[in-house]
Amino acid sequence: MRRGLRAIAGGVAAGALAIAGAATAGQADGSAGARARADAIVARMTRDEKIALVHALFPPMAKGKTREELVSAAGHIDAIPRLGVPTVRESDASLGVANQVEQRPGDVATALPSSLLTAATFDPDIARAGGAMIGSEARAKRFNVLLAGGVNLTRDPWNGRNFESLGEDPLLAGELAGAHIAGVQSNRIASTIKHFALNSQETGRMVADARIGEADLRMSDLLAFQIAIEKGRPASVMCAYNQVNGDWACETDFLLNTVLKRDWNYPGWVMSDWGAVHSTVKAANAGLDQESGQELDEEVFFDGPLRAALDKGQVSQRRLDDMVARYLTGLIASGAYDAPVPAKAVTPPYARNAEVAQRAAEAGIVLLKNTPVGGGDLLPVARTAKKVLLVGGNADVGVLSGGGSSQVRSVGGAPVEMPLAWGGSAGFARVTYHASSPLQALRKALPGAQVSWTDGRSLTDTLAAAKAADLVIVFATQWTTEADDVPDLRLPNHQDALIAQVAAAQPKTAVVLETGGPVLMPWLDKVPAVLAAWYPGQRGGEAIANVLTGRVNPSGRLPITFPADASQPPRPRPVGLDTLSGLEAAAAADPARASGFVLKSFPIDYVEGADVGYRWYEKKGLKPLFPFGHGLGYTRFAYRNPVVTGGDRLTVSFEVVNTGRVAGADVPQMYVSREGSGAPMRLAGFSRVTLKPGEVRRVTLTAEPRVVADYDTSLPGWRIKAGTYRVALARDAADRTMVSTAVLTAKTMRP
């Protein structure tokens, strides 16, 4: 019923001919040199060779279409051996080398935590290490183009794909996406950044029309892309499924030609999302360079129809050359062109790579609440605890992961894996747990205690066991997936009621949340300790145990606001969900005419404009459950002697002191706004600082100028108005205990 809804058939073409990327002389260079080299290669190509490079196979549906070996994954483009152009094999790779629904039987990979957890580290080094690890595994598995770098801003807490991107703030998301991409590409393979732009909800993602004004768009979602592209230099940009202000994202001249290629001078290639192409002439002339997953489009727009359009002069020869040259530029500049992947897959060092996943999880788990019960804080778990009861969440065997194209089949396998009966993701997602048992890890970490687990299904037994324990830890889960939004921010399957009852029976109850993003917590007043573990990845069980027991001092900070109730965010529910559900019900009731029930395009008005997330809460005077930037630890930090300077740029310099008794990391944050502008404050700088007890460090945060500025379409460009600016040195987006002012001079910057 919806285009792009795909079932993966699996299988590798038999008797295939393997052509690993043939090397040519010369090394990768900067983009100008890369472009000159690419142009020289294009000049030697026939038209057929050029056309062959601007549309890509979707291997699960492309058996027999190439003589090369077809590895079942997201994409394949044949080599041109006579010119040294390598075979391209594309894999999804947001959280690890993906292997959705185990289309390559037995091919495991290291699974990082969700990207949202990585964002919660506020640490570009961790993002970079994750990307570098994934890239190395991908190369070993013979992939050389990775579909990574998800940087769509989270505009809605119910977005099914929040776990795959980096939260609601353009500076944080841009910095971390850039670092992740640079990490991937440090392996001399290519990475994308995606999904350009405004693929901000999953409901109706193939038809929805995202509406927003230009200045607001430049100051929010586009700023995240802009920063990430500057930092990470991705070889390719993947344009999105949805429409933007009335045009399909993959044929929007404004986005592709004006913003990306002209204003940002982007040298690489634009590839479409899988099933996101709707035309030949319009798309090619608007700046789309390559059609991905061609079997998923209505027709292969960039093959026969492109030849016809060239013949008629509707698309120029120059444009075709540019499309191909951009593809080659991306491959050359990233190093993929000159560094062939191994001829045969190599087994990566999984044990070492698991450490990368664990370090990320330990840095991004957020301690949301920790209050005293009968003496000290509930966490870390007291050494005196003798009987610890874990409840629910399959915590005996593993930790939850998010669904969709990013799904990694992790090392250790999937102890729980459930197919779906319905929903947009049913064809390519299963509810999957990684084999990392919190129960086993806690038993190891608490050798003196009796640690047991119950699934929580029998309320009477669970409450009796809870009363008999010294401490209860409830593992609460919310599975989210690409292609479906979450219709309700409450925890599913009556888990709220279970938590409330357990907490009433046992005051020493902690909750560990494994969720795609924010959830409501009607039981919060009754539960003294709550940990947001997101989807913690392949070593999540160990990371959770280390945080709960204090071996690791929690230091994650929320990259996204947790609303107090569903009415607080700009849209309480996914737009279009009611219509979609109605059509699905009608199609199910009338299977003979099911394809007649098609969801038509519908608008989503992004009324919050650039005031996404925490800015919306400030603008509307709303008090969230937990603000953006919030996170506790087992020590305390003080900020001393802040000095704010203005002039050409805003800085705040201060001392951070660890005033507690254990080592830990803190994330001081700088928020700014122009006095009298009425605009909410924006995150303009942050830094993660690790300090021993008593240690003092002087830190200087310099505001990102485009965050201080507003975008002025009449310039066009960024404009900082002269005047007084408020600067908050803060622990989270709602903290206004340390506010100073400084005067800035006027300044304009190019778009």
Applying CB under 6 A, the residues found at the interface with ligand BGC are 74, 92, 147, 194-195, 273-274, 405
DSSP 676: T
Cis peptide bond N-terminal to 195, omega within 30: yes
Q: How far is the CB of 608 from ligand BGC (least distance, A)?
A: 23
Quick one: 248 or 639, whose CB is closer to ligand BGC? Answer: 248
**How many other CB atoms are there within 10 angstroms of residue 346's CB atom?**
13
Q: How far is the CB of 238 from ligand BGC (least distance, A)?
A: 7
Instruction: State the first-to-last Cα distance of the chain, in angstroms, to the nearest integer.
Output: 40
Cα three-residue angle 536-541-543, rounded to 5 degrees: 70
Q: How far is the CB of 345 from ligand BGC (least distance, A)?
A: 20
**How many other CB atoms are there within 10 angstroms of residue 565's CB atom?**
13
Helices 31-43 + 317-334 axis angle, to 10: 130
Quick one: 33 or 427, whose CB is closer to ligand BGC? Answer: 427
Q: Which residue has the tokens 């908050």?
A: 728
135 near 185, Cβ under 8 Å? yes
Quick one: 368 or 429, whose CB is closer to ligand BGC? Answer: 429
143 near 189, Cβ under 8 Å? yes
Quick one: 104 or 195, whose CB is closer to ligand BGC? Answer: 195
Quick one: 330 or 393, whose CB is closer to ligand BGC? Answer: 330
Q: How far is the CB of 405 from ligand BGC (least distance, A)?
A: 4
The reply to whether 273 belongs to the active site is yes
Say how far apart CA 381 and CA 397 lie, in whole Å: 21
Residue 437 CB contacts under 8 Å (≥ 6 apart), including other chains:
395, 396, 397, 398, 415, 541
Closest CA to 21 of 73, 76, 81: 81
Which of these is catalytic: 209, 273, 396, 666? 273
Quick one: 5 or 22, whose CB is closer to ligand BGC? Answer: 5
Q: How far is the CB of 119 from ligand BGC (least distance, A)?
A: 17
Say how far apart CA 733 and CA 643 lie, in whole Å: 20
Closest CA to 516 of 472, 468, 484: 484
Say how far apart CA 408 and CA 417 lie, in whole Å: 12
DSSP alpha helix (H) spans, 645-738:
705-708
Quick one: 273 or 289, whose CB is closer to ligand BGC? Answer: 273
Q: How far is the CB of 42 from ligand BGC (least distance, A)?
A: 26
Cis peptide bond N-terminal to 716, omega within 30: yes
Q: How far is the CB of 74 from ligand BGC (least distance, A)?
A: 4
Q: Which two tokens stand for residue 72?
A: 């079942």
Cis peptide bond N-terminal to 380, omega within 30: yes
Quick one: 74 or 657, whose CB is closer to ligand BGC? Answer: 74
For the beta sheet containing 430-434, the strands, ordered from the edge strand earlier in sequence to the opposite edge, are 399-400, 430-434, 417-419
Quick one: 189 or 533, whose CB is closer to ligand BGC? Answer: 189
Say how far apart CA 712 and CA 734 lie, in whole Å: 27
415 near 398, Cβ under 8 Å? yes
Helix (H, G, I), strand (E, B) or coil at 196: strand
SS3 string of 467-532?
Answer: HHCCEEEEEEECCCECCECCCCCCCCCCHHHHHHHHHHHCCCEEEEEECCCCCCCCCHHHCCEEEE
Q: How far is the CB of 634 from ligand BGC (least distance, A)?
A: 37
Q: How far is the CB of 285 from ligand BGC (least distance, A)?
A: 24
Show which residues are catalytic: 273
